[in-house]
Amino acid sequence: MLLSLQLVMFAYGGIEIIGITAGEAKDPKVSIPKAINSVPWRILVFYVGTLFVIMSIYPWNQVGVNGSPFVLTFQHMGITMAAGILNFVVITASLSAINSDVFGVGRMMHGLAEQGHAPKVFSKISKRGIPWVTVVVMMLAMLIAVYLNYIMPENVFLVIASLATFATRVG
């Protein structure tokens, strides 16, 4: 139960990016409430709705036994490339999450540096206003994650998810 709570916290971490973008939004009084109000609907549609459909098709105790229920459903509908399509969706979502993390961490580290709570080097920005040092730091962190995946592939997700959950809740 405790382990599942950690994964749920990890899954919903990232919503705070809405607040970080407020400083960059053209009209934050309109766009931020709109983004915040859309979060519950997105959770209902993409998470609860998907689970409802899958649980309506497959008995709860057989979900995931014979493979991904999404792949099996699409294959049953005659879409033979289901696994490839779903892999594309997962990779696209992962790249989007990485992009959000690089943006969010970059802005947070930059702000902390400007307030004197992080090394001054993190306050450097490019001509276009990008905190490039923090982007480099994030890229190095991602390279470390790739290396960890190479040396301990069976545990790397749990380790990184645990660190991300800890950082999200403590920060």
Q: How confident is the model at residue 114 (pLDDT cuts 50, 70, 90)?
A: very high
Domain for residue 37, yes or no?
no
78 vs 82: CA distance, rounded Å: 9
Tens of pLDDT, residues 98-107: 888 888 888 8
Give the count of domains, the chain: 1
Domain for residue 48, yes or no?
no
Q: How confident is the model at residue 43 (pLDDT cuts 50, 70, 90)?
A: confident
Domain for residue 106, yes or no?
yes
Tens of pLDDT, residues 68-107: 888 888 887 888 888 888 889 888 988 888 888 888 888 8
How far apart are the two ends of the chain, measured CA to CA in Å?
A: 24
Domain for residue 159, yes or no?
yes
The parent domain of residue 74 ranges over 58-170
Q: What is the structure's pLDDT at 140? A: 92
Q: Please, is 148 exposed, middle or buried when counting C-beta atoms within 10 Å of its C-beta (0-12, 13-18, 19+)?
A: middle
Domain for residue 137, yes or no?
yes
Domain for residue 33, yes or no?
no
Domain for residue 42, yes or no?
no
Which pTM was predicted? 0.62
Domain for residue 12, yes or no?
no
